[in-house]
Structure 1
């Protein structure tokens, strides 16, 4: 996956991350297989459709899937090329989804709205620098309704060489103080990954 030299400061780290993701989306990002994860499919099959917020939506595979299954979808990604591809994918599928270019740690500035019953995160949070993660948690909490689900896929802190990546169950319990961590399931990758399910109180 992602390998890069450690930057000297948090600002340089963030710039390095963004530039690398921009480079990936000029071609085909290696993680963008166009298939909705079975973990999300299982949740959609058991939960009534509502408002869904996808953070780090990439080229829109999962946003389109959710829209096709009756969800009102807002997707957010930091990379302009990814959002352009997501909008094209939604148009091609004939579905409506609000796909926004922006920072998942600054949702208030994006005016995503509130009342979401589902937040989906496919390795977005684990790529956010530690000093911005409380902003992510606060924004998600503000945007969701009580009883909302947050389904998050993340790499363990030792899965990749750059420590900007990684998340643990203990960190989620601490940062998401208004949520219960109801399930942690190891991923099937050859390095440590996890599916976390949180439910807002």
Structure 2
């Protein structure tokens, strides 16, 4: 499984270690100062509530759902509480440990496992799903190659009549990137100045400074075009910055 040397691993490993140490419940609490711990108030809950009411699905007890990049599991537990059969994966073992504890405390039946979604494209397909959910994972998968592998993994595991539900951070004209970060408007990629000891894998040099991919913040049409080019049909694109997407193969 490809993990520790990739650009998207170290930040998430550090974040979930801090989250566990400080008694937080989910990723968003790390970056919203003063936000009260509330496991049920995860960022894409409103989108999921709305989207799931509109999808043409069998009874929930017959619906298989995969959430990748599940973190501590708030969305996965939300789905399981509504009767869906839920598998959830994250590449950070510490996140999965916390997610299993939170699910057990709530009586939520979720099958959690440690897995890098980018590596799934290279693995045999053992199960297909009616719904695959991305809860703000996609913006951290930055390069064209990695996003292509992620989309390939989703396509292979999504049933013919299935739905791909994506919530992702988008380009925001009011966002201010901190010192050490560099945004490329032509690709939507935000680069972070690389630490001296960072692995050279994924590193690029810009104006004599080494950077690692950090986030990808696309404009709405660019995200739609990317998904369409990856073999999906975009059914709807909603939200304040149009980062909530319902797609099908």
State the TM-score bracket (shorter-chain normalisation).
0.7 to 0.9
Q: What is the rounded CA distance, in whole Å, between the counterparts of 2:83 and 2:72 in structure 1?
A: 19
Mark the CA change 1:67 to 1:194 in structure 2 (over 3 Å): closer, same or farther.
same
Cα drift, residue 17 of structure 1: 2.9
Aligned partner of residue 106 in structure 1, secondary structure: helix
Cα drift, residue 27 of structure 1: 2.5
User: Larger radius of gyration, structure 1 or 2?
Assistant: 2
Cα drift, residue 134 of structure 1: 1.3
Mark the CA change 1:138 to 1:30 in structure 2 (over 3 Å): closer, same or farther.
closer
Instruction: Tell me the TM-score normalized by structure 2.
Output: 0.65
Q: CA RMSD in A?
A: 2.6
Map 1:34-183 to 2 at 5 A: 34=39, 35-36=41-42, 37-47=45-55, 48=57, 49=60, 50-107=63-120, 113-130=126-143, 131-157=145-171, 161=183, 162-163=190-191, 164=213, 165-166=215-216, 167=218, 168-175=223-230, 177=231, 179-183=232-236
Q: What is the rounded CA distance, in whole Å, between the counterparts of 2:129 and 2:147 in structure 1?
A: 19
Mark the CA change 1:110 to 1:62 in structure 2 (over 3 Å): closer, same or farther.
farther
Aligned partner of residue 100 in structure 1, secondary structure: strand
Q: What is the rounded CA distance, in whole Å, between the counterparts of 2:99 and 2:122 in structure 1?
A: 21
Q: Is the contact between residue 75 and residue 135 of structure 2 (CA under 8 Å) also seen in structure 1?
A: no
Q: What is the rounded CA distance, in whole Å, between the counterparts of 1:43 and 1:55 in structure 2?
A: 18
Cα drift, residue 156 of structure 1: 2.2
Instruction: Tell me the TM-score normalized by structure 1.
Output: 0.79
- How many matched pairs? 183
Deviant stretches of 4+, over 6 Å: 109-112
Q: What is the rounded CA distance, in whole Å, between the counterparts of 1:110 and 1:66 in structure 2?
A: 26
1:23 equivalenced with 2:14 (yes/no): yes
Q: Is the contact between residue 105 and residue 136 of structure 1 (CA under 8 Å) also seen in structure 2?
A: yes
Mark the CA change 1:68 to 1:110 in structure 2 (over 3 Å): closer, same or farther.
farther
Structure 1: unaligned runs, 5 residues or longer = 1-10
Aligned partner of residue 98 in structure 1, secondary structure: strand
